[in-house]
Structure 1
Amino acid sequence: MILFISMNIPIVYSSGNIQQKFEEANKMYEQSNYDSAISLYESIIMQGVINSSLFYNLGDAYYHKNEIGKARLWYERAKKISPRDGDIENNLKFVRSFVQEPEEGFLSKAFGFVLINELTVFGSLFYFLFIVGLTINLFYKNDALKLVNSITGTIFILCFLWFLTRIYAESKYVSGIIITNIEARNGPGEDYSVGFTLPEGKKVRILSEKSGWYAVETLQVKPEKILIRGWIPKLSAKKI
């Protein structure tokens, strides 16, 4: 399986030190010095840099260290910034195969295909066009213009509803990645019995947290597709 690596995509920031670190990290990666590359990539992130290429490269470095959980975590974080990037999606498909996780359905893919700020821009644009069309139609009655107004108004409403749904979903549902194989228990503590095992790299929905434990939910594929719930230590998973 060939991984698609965007090692030469430049990151332009006001600080030359960050750009220099990024280039040095890429060199370490190309020399298979993955520990040094990871250290440099993470030091850039600690400075507050949010960039899909940076996250993607960090995921690649973790993949080559066979740390599938952390690799998937950073691929998922990269996807949140660049949801239509083909390289990110290809690598995510590959790491999902390690945990025998089914591909996202059409609705799930479509839901995250557009960023919230893009929805804001699209919605504002079509709202503006709708208002302009209505204003013109007050003075010039025209059937074609009425049709255009109906289309722009409908698109605006769809963008607005999509925007509200995304805001609600992102505030209510928090996803995480299992970064080490872990036994999920039937309560928040080691005293509770083991319910099932979650493999490194598995994606879960974090429902709540209590006393250093996450209540999580995930889809079990075999022997049948069902949602299963359990409790895991917070250190065993990272929020996307």
Structure 2
Amino acid sequence: MKQFLHILVCFILTSSFAQNEKVFEQANSLYNEGNYAKAIEKYHTILDSGEHSAELFYNMANAHYKLNHIAPSIYYYEKALLLKPRDKEILNNITYARNMTIDDIEVLPEVGFSRLLNKATNTMSYDNWAKLAVVLVVLFVILFLFYVFSHRTAKKRFAFITSSVCIILAFVALAFAFHKYELVEKDQPAIVFAQEAQIKSEPNLRSTESFKLHEGTKVQVLDTINNWKKIKLSDGKTGWVLNDDIKMLKTF
């Protein structure tokens, strides 16, 4: 019975994948014909089925860009970058899309120790930092055993020094893994979808307006209270915006 269910699930998944491939080709044909709105509808049917990919988001972004849909084009380019952060075509096209936005927000560069720490941390994912820590711990155990059972002074000294270095580096790698995980968890980007969003000083409509944002602007979400989100801009400004005025990027 279990084997039958496994075969049935595999059959359903294979059929769904084949169907989505067909729809993807149809959408691409519509795009090439200049029927961008219909192409977007086809791409959305794939998303609604639960499947997503960098290629799908990239093509959706291109179609929205052709229709001058500022927020959706940037939104889907950004989602494609989450899956393929170094893709040259996505990086090139999102630059053109960002040029359509109204808000010109200065990016405050990181400085000092924080900049160096984050740059070092971002060289690998937290999974890879954790794997490196495990490898270093294994090396420490092997070298420590070699130190215990070795009888020659020179070999014992070498084993002791190298095992000590390995365990220190293991703790460093583990610290980087936790820091990377924290950076990823704190990174909650969103795109403004409202044509003009009022950013309030507090999470209620009666509070004073701090500033305005326009569609396509990227923000960081810091907190959520009821139907309000606290956001932060790349220049350091913060405020509260209605949930419906923005769309979170890390939702798949």
Q: Residue 58 of structure 1 aligns to which amino acid in structure 2?
A: M
Change (3 A) 1:215 1:154: same
Residues 84 and 112 (structure 1), Cα distance of their counterparts in 2 relative to 1, 3 Å cut: farther
- Paired position in structure 2 for 1:75: 77
Equivalent of residue 230 in structure 1, options 224, 228, 239: 239
Q: Kindly, what percent of the aligned residue pairs are identical?
A: 23
Residue 175 in structure 1 maps to residue 189 in structure 2: yes
> Mind listing any 5+ residue stretches in structure 2 that lack a counterpart?
1-12
Q: Which residue of 1 aligns with 2:232?
A: 217
Residues 162-193 of structure 1 show CA distances to partners (whole Å, capped at 9, x for unaligned) of 32123223334422111223121233343333
Match of 1:202 in 2: 217
Deviates more, 1:157-166 or 1:37-46: 157-166
What does residue 29 of structure 1 align with? 31
Query: Match of 1:219, SS?
Result: coil
- Answer yes or no: is 1:184 the counterpart of 2:199: yes
Kindly tell me: are residues 79 and 239 of structure 1, through their superposed partners in 2, closer, same or farther at Cα, counting changes over 3 Å?
A: same
CA drift at 1:112:
5.0
Indicate how the Cα distance of structure 1 residues 229 and 104 shifts in structure 2: closer, same or farther if over 3 A, else same.
Answer: closer
Q: Give the direction of change, closer, same or farther, for the CA distance of 1:53–1:211 in structure 2 (3 Å limit).
A: same
Which has the larger helix fraction?
A: 2
Give the letter for the 1:238 counterpart: K
Q: Given the alignment of the two structures, is residue 100 of structure 1 paired with residue 113 of structure 2, yes or no? A: no
TM score, norm. by length of structure 2:
0.71
Deviations 1:61-82 (CA, angstroms, capped at 9, x unpaired): 2222212222222222222222
Specify whether residues 217 and 126 from structure 1 end up closer, same or farther in structure 2 by C-alpha distance, changes over 3 A only: same
Classify 1:53/1:158 alpha carbon distance in 2 versus 1 (closer, same or farther; 3 Å): farther
Rounded to whole Å, the distance in 1 between the matches of 2:207 and 2:216 is 24
Q: Secondary structure at the match of 1:208?
A: strand
Q: Which residue of 1 aligns with 2:178?
A: 164
Partner in structure 2 of residue 224 of structure 1 = none
The SS at the match of 1:49 is coil
**What is the alpha-carbon distance in structure 1 between the residues aligned to residue 138 and residue 59 of structure 2?**
40
> Which of 54, 57, 70 lines up with 1:55 in the alignment?
57
CA contact (8 A) 1:187 1:231 kept: yes
**What is the number of residues matched between the two proteins?**
222
TM-score, scaled to structure 1: 0.74
Distance 1:231 1:145 in 2: 57
Change (3 A) 1:170 1:48: same
Counterpart Cα distance in 1 of 2:213 and 2:161: 53
> Rg larger in 1 or in 2?
2
CA shift digits 1:174-229 (9 cap, x unpaired): 22111223121233343333221112111112122233222212134xxxxxx222
Deviation of 1:148 (Å): 6.3
The root-mean-square deviation of aligned C-alpha atoms, in Å, is 3.1
* Secondary structure of 2:222's aligned partner: strand
**Is the CA contact 1:93–1:103 (under 8 Å) kept in the aligned structure 2?**
no
Contact 1:214 1:231 in 2 (8 A): yes
Deviations 1:6-51 (A, max 9, x none): xxxxxxx832112112222222222222212222222212222232
Contact 2:107/2:234 (8 A) holds in 1 = no
Q: Secondary structure at the match of 2:237?
A: strand
Give the equivalent residue in structure 1 for 2:93.
91
Distance 1:96 1:146 in 2: 55
Q: Match of 1:43?
A: 45
Gaps of 5+ in 1: 1-12, 221-226
Separation in 2, partners of 1:86, 1:109:
21
